[in-house]
Amino acid sequence: MIRTMLYQPTTQAIITGDEALLATWRQQSDTIVWADFSDMDPETEMHALIEYFGLHPLAIQDAQRTRHQPKIEAFDDHVFVLLKGLGPDTDEFEFETIQIALFIGERFLVTRHSSRSSSIDGLWQTVQQDTGLFEGGPDFLALRLARLSIDRFLNRLLTLEPRLEDLEQEIVTRPQDEILSELMGYKTSLRKFRRVLLYHQQIFLDLMNHLPPQVKPGRIHEIKDVYEHQERAGSLATLYYEVSSDLIEGYISLASHRLNNIMKILTIVTAIFVPLSFLAGIYGMNFENMPELKSRSGYFILLSVMGGIATILLLVFRKRRWL
């Protein structure tokens, strides 16, 4: 599917349509177009991108791959930026990304994504309501899209903080194996967040240091703003990753502490009953030449001795603070 948005600077009018508008754009040299490609056959898509915009085939192949690290590459007449965007919003903290490719030219912005992008849809609706956004040019729209994308990263990360605080309390009050499993899932997702955000930071750092001709020099502040938000999101991902690691270690430490207490109690019980079992074993052999067997008070004496041993051991354990 190809959806297009044609902007006419003279009248400040925006026309939305499909692939047919691209022919109008090529005929009118003062217009700017935003073409959004999604869910197309790769061969058909590549043919359209080369025919209408003259994009480099290798850049198109990178954009069409299901998995490719974020990157930026400058060509003679356009800049190729490949970003990772978050998938659909969910109630759970999940790391699901989609490839978002941006091709920025002097008169065009081409976006390409394999599945629905909330950031692109949101900007598309905003531009239709505010035509002034198109006046900034394709580079301004691309940076606004990058800002919307990183804001979704930040919002997704910030939703995790209250849950981590709740888990910290649950570890102490109601420890369960499900907590450890949940924390391990968060740690895995946050590691992926960190990796992607590190790529994004490098992209916008390179863009600040080596500004291509298709991006106006006046955009340096917008680029820096996006970079700072990427950096903040990366810092949050690192912070929450470390918090998750600390909580996992804390859960394991508390579990070990509880296990040690259980083992201590079992050891004390064993230490008390070993001498008692020894005495019971001796007097349970029933040899005829055991003088205690003939004593009328032997049973009570033995019980007293066993009770005394148990009492003395308990007092010793309490004195040593083992109980």
7/101 same-domain check: yes
Contact 124, 89 (CB under 8 A): no
pLDDT at 103 over 90: yes
pLDDT digits (tens, 9 = 90+) for 5-43: 888 888 888 888 888 888 888 888 888 999 999 888 889
264/116 same-domain check: no
pLDDT at 286 over 80: no
Average pLDDT, the chain: 86
38/88 same-domain check: yes
249/165 same-domain check: yes
17/136 same-domain check: yes
Per-residue pLDDT, 101: 92
Could you tell me the two tokens for 50? 């080369």
Q: Note if the pTM is more than 0.75.
A: yes
Per-residue pLDDT, 95: 77
- Separation CA 200–CA 109 (nearest Å): 19
The count of domains in the chain is 2
207/264 same-domain check: no
Per-residue pLDDT, 91: 67
9/118 same-domain check: yes
pLDDT digits (tens, 9 = 90+) for 178-209: 888 888 988 998 998 899 999 999 999 998 88
Per-residue pLDDT, 231: 92
Domain that holds residue 69: 2-255
Boundary-marking domain end, from 230, 255, 280: 255
127/261 same-domain check: no
CATH code of the domain covering residue 281 = 1.20.58.340
**Residues 6+ away with beta carbon under 8 Å from 199:** 69, 70, 71, 84
79/142 same-domain check: yes
- Separation CA 240–CA 187 (nearest Å): 8
278/192 same-domain check: no
SS3 for the chain is CEEEEEEECCCCEEEEECCHHHHHHHHCCCCEEEEEEECCCHHHHHHHHHHHHCCCHHHHHHHHCCCCCCEEEECCCCEEEEEEEECCCCCCCCCCEEEEEEEECCCEEEEEECCCCHHHHHHHHHHHHCCHHHHCCHHHHHHHHHHHHHHHHHHHHHCHHHHHHHHHHHHHHCCCHHHHHHHHHHHHHHHHHHHHHHHHHHHHHHHHHCCCCCCCHHHHHHHHHHHHHHHHHHHHHHHHHHHHHHHHHHHHHHHHHHHHHHHHHHHHHHHHHHHHHHHHHHCCCCCCCCHHHHCCCHHHHHHHHHHHHHHHHHHHHHHCCCC
Boundary-marking domain end, from 255, 281, 301: 255
Percent of the chain whose pLDDT exceeds 90: 24
30 vs 8, 9, 27, 106, 212, CA distance in Å?
7, 7, 9, 11, 21
Confidence class for position 251, pLDDT limits 50, 70, 90: confident
Could you tell me the two tokens for 157? 């990360």
pLDDT digits (tens, 9 = 90+) for 42-88: 898 889 889 888 899 899 899 888 888 899 998 888 999 999 888 77
139/25 same-domain check: yes
189/265 same-domain check: no
**Higher per-residue pLDDT: 131 or 91:** 131
Per-residue pLDDT, 80: 93
